Amino acid sequence: MMMVPAMNDAVPTASPGNSASARDIASLLHPYTNLRKHAKDGPLVITEGKGVYVYDEAGKEYIEGLAGLWCTSLGFGEQRLIDAATRQMSKLPFYHMFTSKSHDVGIELAERVLAMLPVKMSKVFFNNSGSEANDTAIKLVWYFNNARGRPRKKKIISRIRGYHGVTVATAGLTGLPANHIDFDLPIANIRHAECPHYYRSGKPGESEEDFATRMAESLEAQILREGPDTIAAFIAEPIQGAGGLIVPPKTYFEKIQPILKKYDILLIADEVICGFGRTGNMFGTETYKLQPDIITVAKALSSAYVPISATIISEDIYQACLTESDKVGPFAHGFTYSGHPVCAAVAVETLKIYEERKILDQVRKVSPRLQDGLRQFADHPLVGDVRGIGLIAGIELMEDKKAKRGFDPKRGMGTYFMGRAQEHGLIVRALVDTIAICPPLIITESEIDALVTRFGKALDDTAAFVKAG
């Protein structure tokens, strides 16, 4: 008889002498990480967090300048969110929403989300991540057009340098080469429009408004080339985050939206980063006067304490779903953890805190300190552009700022800067050579001053490194 090894024999365990770094290298595959470099150098192991600060295993303090991954809006250690999760775990630790089942906290969360939106929407569908929220949006767009008897109207236009997730479908929407190379992406029916990056793509003497007109004309020409009867939706982040912190040029969305209406193309607003106060309004949709048919949210919905996201749809799309249900029966889409009650409870408490603590007033009060503090680096020899709004900003490094010539990507200057910032106690993210800043919304003016000081030290270190050749 073949012997089956005991569970303890089957799972290797680390000896007490092994470091966390060594154990990590031996056991984990890391997202968005240079795997060869990681296997050599290992990770930064974070063990605690409080407010805007996190601490590594040696006790060193860092300002979390990206709010984790654009998400920990209320900072670390918010006791009300911890208590909300604990209460819900004791009351109803899990239930699903399949086959007409529901629960009180899921209902309350949907009501609160709909009430917060700056545009009227109809229904909320819960997912577990921003990627899933956008994946659901894609499926609903296709479902909608099938219900309307338009089987050819299926293409979705994203934008170069847009970021919408990493599922098979949403990684295709994401307009970044690394997300496509050797993953056999994008899939069919995904297209990419020009990136509205005025700093990089504006012509000499061209105003932002003229550039926006050119981008709108380019989009309309693309729609006409593809065939308007084949284009189903256009998806856009109000501010392009992971693609380089790209703020839309003035009048861009005002010029884009009439074109979408003209050709009966749905607008999906990806609010995964911008939603819940980041831009100084509760949603980027309000900041840039969008009229979307679908809105996706995640991240700050629960201040990232638990995974939850939502796909929010218009009444027209909901009515199409009803039509399909008449035809096929069940709406055959969903996740085991859609609207998980613990996640919903934490999200409800998060939204309550935003309201009670007047988080928009807080963002509007301190954001000038961040934007002005970072713009003081605009004259630095390595800084080509400083851009941002509210509590989100990007600083683009340049080898030759006059010629707008970036560094050779092989030099990894953004990554070098990120390492120097970390050495000075600041965690940021390098998007190639754009340094992203997106701190927790609770950050104070004195903490912003400390962030800016540490950023400046890293910038000077990087300049010295470049000068040394």
Q: Quick check: is 23 in a domain?
A: no
Is residue 72 located within the same domain as residue 144? no
**How many domains does the chain fold into?**
2
pLDDT digits (tens, 9 = 90+) for 400-422: 999 999 999 889 999 999 999 99
Q: Quick check: is 11 in a domain?
A: no
Is residue 395 located within the same domain as residue 447? yes
What is the span of the domain harbouring residue 449?
44-77+360-468
Q: Quick check: is 19 in a domain?
A: no
Is residue 127 located within the same domain as residue 241? yes
- In the three-class reduction of DSSP (H, G, I as helix; E, B as strand; rest coil), residue 267 is classed as strand
pLDDT tens string for the chain (469 positions)?
334 444 444 444 444 448 999 999 999 999 999 999 999 999 999 999 999 999 999 999 999 999 999 999 999 999 999 999 999 999 999 999 999 999 999 999 999 999 999 999 999 999 999 999 999 999 999 999 999 999 999 999 999 999 999 999 999 999 999 999 999 999 999 999 999 999 999 999 999 999 999 999 999 999 999 999 999 999 999 999 999 999 999 999 999 999 999 999 999 999 999 999 999 999 999 999 999 999 999 999 999 999 999 999 999 999 999 999 999 999 999 999 999 999 999 999 999 999 999 999 999 999 999 999 999 999 999 999 999 999 999 999 999 999 999 999 889 999 999 999 999 999 999 999 999 999 999 999 999 999 999 999 999 999 999 999 8
Of the three residues 326, 356, 386, the one that is the final residue of a domain is 356
- 272, exposed or middle or buried, with CB in 10 Å at 0-12, 13-18, 19+? buried
Is residue 175 located within the same domain as residue 95? yes
- Show the DSSP H helices in 182-251 as ranges: 198-201, 208-226
Is residue 331 located within the same domain as residue 369? no
Is residue 190 located within the same domain as residue 259? yes
Task: Measure the CA–CA gap between 346 and 88, rounded to whole angstroms.
Answer: 9
> Is the full-model pTM beyond 0.85?
yes
Q: Quick check: is 6 in a domain?
A: no
Of the three residues 298, 322, 356, the one that is the final residue of a domain is 356
Q: Give the tokens for residue 325.
A: 């249900």
Is residue 269 located within the same domain as residue 410? no
Q: Quick check: is 461 in a domain?
A: yes
Task: Measure the CA–CA gap between 455 and 436, rounded to whole angstroms.
Answer: 11
pLDDT digits (tens, 9 = 90+) for 242-264: 999 999 999 999 999 999 999 99
Read off the CATH number of the domain in which 61 is found: 3.90.1150.10
Query: At 164, phi and psi to the nearest 5?
Result: -135, 5
Is residue 198 located within the same domain as residue 69? no
Of the three residues 305, 323, 356, the one that is the final residue of a domain is 356
Q: Quick check: is 352 in a domain?
A: yes
